[in-house]
Structure formats: C-alpha cells, structure tokens
Amino acid sequence: MAKKKRINKIIIYTLATIVLIGFVGPYLWMLATSLKSQGDVMAWPPKIIPTELHWENYARIWQGTILPTAFMNSVIVATIATAMNVFFASLAAFAFARLEFPGRNGLFLGVLATMMVPAGLMVVPLFAMIRNIPFTGPSGWLDSYAGLIIPTAITGFAIFLLRQYFLSIPKDLDDQAAIDGCTKFQVYWRIILPLSKPALGLVAIFTFLGNWNEYLWHLTVARSEQMYTIQIALARFQTEHNIEWSLIMAGATTAAVPMMILYFTLQPLFEKGLGGIGSGMKD
Amino acid sequence: MIPKQNSSVATAKHSPLPTKVKKKNRWKDYLGSYMFVFPAVSLLFTFSFVPIIYLVYLSFHRYRLPDSPTFIGLDNYSRLMSDGVFWKSIGNTMIYTFGSMFLGLFAALCIAVLLNRAFHGRRFYKVFYFLPAVTSDVISAMIFLWIFDHNLGIMNYFLTTIGIAQPTNWLLDPFWAMVILIFVGSWRGASYNIPIFLAGLEGVPKSYYEAAEIDGANGWHKFWKITIPSIMPISVYCMVMSIIGSFQVVAIVDVLTDGGPRNSTLVAIKYVWQQSFEFNYVGYGATLSLFIFPFLFLVTWLNLKLSSRSE
C-alpha cells in the first residue's frame, strides 16, 4: 500500500514537471538565447546554456532601435488607459449600484451589451471614426496617443465587475454618511473606493495587461515608428532582424518582463480575477 | 416631528427627501447621478455602438483613402460572394478555432485534474503554469518561431537526435503551418484555462465522491459520473470564450506565418485587415466585418445567456 502511494507520488511529480517544462521552458530558452553571442546562436548542435553571457545584447536593442520608444509608448498607453478605466468605470459602477435615476437599468443593459461587441470586427469602422474626428486635422486621431487609448480605454466588463462588488457593500454606510452631510461624490470617494481595493486592483491589473498585450488596434492606429507600441515594434523588429535571434529574444524578454514582474508580485490578485471570471458569473 | 423625519431618512433609501418641496431637488439629484455615469457610458457607447452603425454604412460604400466614401449599393456584397480567398480565410479560421479550442481545453482539463490532487508544491506548479497567459501573443509566437526555425531551431535538433532524418520546414508547409498555429494558440489557451478548471474541480463537493465510493465506484466512474457533469457549466463557459477569442486571432498568425504559405493560414480578421489597410479597400473590409459579425454576436450572446442562467 505504502509502495503504491509512493509510485503514485512519483508519477504525479513527473507529470507536473513535464508540464512545467512545457510552460516555462520556452521562456528559459528565450532568456538563454537573448544572452548568447551570434556564434552560440548559430552553433549546431544548439547550446542550451550560453558559453558566456552577452548582456550587451540588451544594450544594443536599447540603443538605436525602435524598441525603447515603443516600450515607453506602451507604458504611457497602458498607464493612462488603466487610470481612465479604474476612475470612470468605478464612478459609473457607483451610480449603477447605489444611486437611483431614470433610465438606470436601460443604460446598464447597454453597458452589458457592449461586452458582446467583438473587438476584432470593430477595427475597420473605429479606424474610419477616429480618422474623421472633427477639428483634429486630416488624419484625426490616427497615429496619436488619443487614438491608441481613448476608443478602447473604458470596458463594459470593468463597470460590470465593479458594480457587482459595490452591491455587496452594506447600503447603511451610505445613509450614515449622508446623515453626516457627505455628498454623493464624498460617499464614493471616502467610503466605497477604500472598501473596494481588491476589485479596483483587479480591474487595474487586467486593464493594464490587456493594453500592454494589445496588438490589432495598435497596429491600426500607429502609423509611424514614433507611435509604435511594444507589441507592434516587436513584430516589426522580428521581420527586420530575422537572423539575429539573440537580439530578437532580448527584445521579447524586455517586453515580457514588466508583465511577469506584475504577475509574480500580485499573484493572488490574478488568481482571484480568474476565479471571478470563471465562477463570478455563476454566483 | 423630529423622530419621524429621522426614520424617513433611515428607511426610505430611494427618495430620502419627502415629496413636493423637494421636486426641484430631485432633478438636481438625478443630474448629479448622471454626471457619475456620463464619462464612462458616453465613451463606451460611442466606441461600441456607433461603429456598428458605421459598419453598416461603410459596407454600402467604396471607401479608398484619401477619398471620401461613395455609395455603390450592394457591389461589396456581390464581390464578397465570389471572393474565394475570403471563404478560404473563413475555413482557415474555423480549423484554427476548433483545433485550438479542443486541444487547449483538453490539455487544460487534464492538467487541472493533475493539479487537483494533493501533493506538496502544487502551488508552485500552479503559479508557473499561468505564465504563458500573461505574456502576449506576439511574444509567444516569436519564441515558437525560434523553436521551430528550420535551420537552427531546437525542435528540429530534437527530432534529428531521435532519428527523424530530415524534419520538414514547418512553417513553409501548408499543413504543418496550421498545426503549429493551433499548437501555439492552445498552449496559451491551456495556460489561461487551467486555473478556471481547477476552481471548478475544487468546487465539487467531497461528499459526492465519498457517497460514490460507498456505492463501490472506481476512479474512472467517479470522473465520468461526478467530475465531468459538475464542471460542465465552466467547460461551456471556457469553450465559448475560447471560440470568441480564437476567431479573432491575428497576432500569432502575423508573427509565425503572415498568412502563408499560399494563404493556408490566412485567417478572417487578417484578411479583413489586409483588404482594409494594405489594399486600401476600407469599405470592402467593413462589408467583410459585417458579414462575420452575426456569427460572433450569436456566440457571445449564447455565452451571456448561459452564464446568466446558471446564476
């Protein structure tokens, strides 16, 4: 019996480790390649571990390529979009959860309906819209931060999720605050927001992730290299340098690291988010 | 008098202030509420619903930049009907979508079942299994482009060491190029879905299994009769989400194959993008989008319906 258990354990650990190699191995291979000399990259049989570490690969992509600008653009775009979504969506969610006004349910249904609009198919008409925005010159918001950020900043999902969370906070708190002379905005700002940090964090993380990893919309809006975001720049960089694999992998590593840091430091929040997505619809 | 007023504040939440005199105040009150909603909702609606109307409008027009749209009736639609490449792209998208959905969900389920067993360090494994889900399509695709590289890729090295003399040039072969796209798509998909399946598995009451054991059920029985039915709602959710996501795949294709070889991996959204922005047929691109729209809308609607029913 004990022996059988032991064999069981061995099988479990073996399988779990094979899966681990399947999911993490490619990233280690990316990292290893990014530190190789051109000679190591061309070596056959492939060298798993670089003979010596060439950190200057990172210096090379950081100077004289489009990647640093694109990296900064992504930081700007993702940060502003996250701030906008957290602030405006929570304001709206507050009203939907805790205030009474005519048309509230209709508007909220509209918000839910926006979640059914497939983003990939909206690229063409959105492009035509932002190109023809009045008073913004011949190409509108094309090739601008406004174009990259504003059309996709607010998500129906954020409003939906925050409303659900706000509904779970006891309503007596609002009434109490109202008696104390708080305005609605003060109730929102001083009572609801501080109590909703986990939900706000969740929205912030997933908005940032979504914008950092966005490809199609940024590809459509960013026309000049100056406005490329990191994913677009990487895809271009790869076609331009398709022999220098160490540089390409250094670029990929640089773009992957911010999300990985965020993920590992805020891991519990990520988990909660997925649980919320998976089962939150259920309960 | 005073106690009465107090109680009205405490109980009548919806209209804390008694009628008549406060009628004017009520509208001021509503105005305040609308100001909370206005920024988010106006932006959201402008960039979600207006494009749909615009899509319909553009689909009846020839729109080639920098000219303005000119009305051409149903020309775009008749062009669509006889556009073999478009239909091929739809077919490719279906193959990719269903391939990556089945492979990705099957892998995710198997791994979640494995993780659901009690063993030391399962948390550690779980954390790392999610890594592909937080990195972008572009980065994932770039890594696999390097792994499957014909000349220097580590995959071909492995294959030669196990005796396959001349592995194919993966991404230049119409069949294998699609297989690799599906593989990369399901790799990310599986990573994303593992925690969701795991949450589902953990939610199955232990008492079900105990009861079954008393009735003499074996492991396989328990899996089919208890586990699978219990996680059905979550599986359906993952399935629908996977269809919605995979149907709009672009980034993986752009990096790995750029639609080739010979359009064998040209997917629908990529074709729409090509027509609109590479060949400058924006109106035709709108027509194509509009044509695909009902299908994706249906799937998403089904998703919302299913998830609200299980409430």
For residues B27 and B270, give the distance between their C-alpha atoms in angstroms, rounded to a whole number: 49
* List of chain A residues whose C-beta atoms are within 8 Å of the C-beta of residue B10: 175
* List of chain B residues whose C-beta atoms are within 8 Å of the C-beta of residue A23: 128-129, 131-132, 187, 191
Asked if A216 and A119 touch (Cβ cutoff 8 Å), the reply is: yes
Instruction: Find the closest chain B residue to A235 by CA distance.
Output: B255
Residue A166 is classified by DSSP as H
CA distance B175 to chain A (A): 23
pLDDT in the model for residue A274 = 66
ipTM for this model? 0.91
Identify the sign of the CA torsion A20, A21, A22, A28.
positive
Residue B2, pLDDT above cutoff 50:
no
* List of chain A residues whose C-beta atoms are within 8 Å of the C-beta of residue B134: 209, 259-260, 262-263, 270
B103 touches chain A (CB under 8 A): no
Pick the closest to residue B165 from B157, B176, B153 (CA basis): B157
Cα–Cα–Cα angle for A26, A16, B238, rounded to 5 degrees = 80
Calculate the CA dihedral of residues A244, A247, A249, A252 and round it to 10 degrees: -130
User: Mean pLDDT throughout A157-186?
Assistant: 90
The share of chain A scoring above pLDDT 90, in percent, equals: 68
Asked if A117 and B46 touch (Cβ cutoff 8 Å), the reply is: no
User: Where is A86: in which H helix or E strand?
Assistant: helix A67-98
What is the reported pTM?
0.90
pLDDT in the model for residue A281 = 35
Position with higher pLDDT, A85 vs B162: A85
CA distance B234 to chain A (A): 7
For residues A276 and A168, give the distance between their C-alpha atoms in angstroms, rounded to a whole number: 14
* Maximum Cα interatomic distance, chain B, rounded to a whole number of Å: 96
User: Mean pLDDT throughout A132-161?
Assistant: 91
For residues A24 and B254, give the distance between their C-alpha atoms in angstroms, rounded to a whole number: 23
Instruction: Find the closest chain B residue to A249 by CA distance.
Output: B143
Which one of B33, B40, B45 has the shortest CB-CB distance to A99? B33
pLDDT in the model for residue B3 = 39
**Within 10 Å of residue B6's Cβ, how many Cβ atoms?**
11
B263 touches chain A (CB under 8 A): no
Residue A187 is classified by DSSP as I
Residue B151, pLDDT above cutoff 80:
yes
pLDDT in the model for residue B42 = 96
Confidence of residue B309 (pLDDT cuts 50, 70, 90): low
Residue B20, pLDDT above cutoff 60:
no
Chain Cα centroid distance, residue B120 = 33
pLDDT in the model for residue B22 = 60
Residue B297 corresponds to which tokens in the numbers above?
Answer: 């809308």
3-class DSSP assignment, residue B82? coil
What pairs with residue A265 in β-bridges?
A: none
Cross-chain residue pair B143–A238, CB shorter than 8 Å: no
Which residues, numbered 69 to 98 in chain B, qualify as contacts with chain A under a Cβ-Cβ cut-off of 8 Å? none
Residue A144, pLDDT above cutoff 80:
yes
Which one of B191, B233, B277 has the shortest CB-CB distance to A220? B277
CA distance A176 to chain B (A): 8
Counted across chains A and B, CB pairs separated by less than 8 A come out at 292
